């Protein structure tokens, strides 16, 4: 995939989690419970950390903002992906305006930014910026994350 590139997502996410725990003075013992937006779950940084640690299926993480037009379109495409693939994939979204520290640490600059994470922790995450049709997202999941 031309726009996708390997990302040291786990390292940067680990730094963000450590900073968040330090700043908030809490351990990460929260139960992942993301807010559901249709079939796609909205998560904060701590919920994302738990979901990443406990993943058994491919994950697609959508970093978005509510004011972003392409993000709204991407959200609809991810709903289609989740509907078509069901439990074979977990699509989640993170609002970059609410999770500014995480977005900064992961260097999220263009919106929407999608991060594709394999259940195989030895595989690097893939990252792309911009709107993708559901068919392309499904193709990446099936060909790159399985």
* For helices 9-24 and 45-53, angle between their N-to-C axes, nearest 10 degrees: 130
The backbone region for 36, taken as left when phi is positive above 0, alpha when psi lies in -120 to 50, beta otherwise, is beta
Phi, psi of 114 (to 5 degrees): -105, 135
Residues known to be catalytic:
68, 71
Q: Where do we find the tokens 């970059």?
A: 96
Give the ranges where the chain is alpha helix by DSSP (H): 9-24, 45-53, 69-85, 100-105, 134-144
């Amino acid at each position: 995939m031309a726009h996708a590139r390997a990302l040291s997502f786990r390292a940067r996410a680990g730094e963000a989690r450590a900073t968040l725990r330090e700043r908030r003075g809490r351990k990460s013992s929260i139960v992942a419970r993301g807010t559901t937006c249709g079939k796609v779950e909205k998560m904060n940084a701590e919920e994302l950390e738990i979901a990443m640690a406990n993943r058994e299926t491919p994950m697609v993480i959508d970093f978005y903002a509510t004011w972003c037009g392409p993000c709204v379109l991407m959200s609809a495409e991810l709903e289609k992906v989740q509907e078509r693939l069901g439990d074979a994939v977990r699509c989640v979204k993170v609002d970059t305006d609410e999770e500014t520290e995480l977005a900064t640490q992961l260097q999220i600059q263009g919106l929407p930014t999608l991060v594709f994470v394999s259940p195989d922790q030895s595989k690097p995450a893939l990252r792309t910026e911009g709107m993708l049709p559901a068919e392309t997202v499904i193709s990446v999941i099936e060909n790159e994350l399985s």
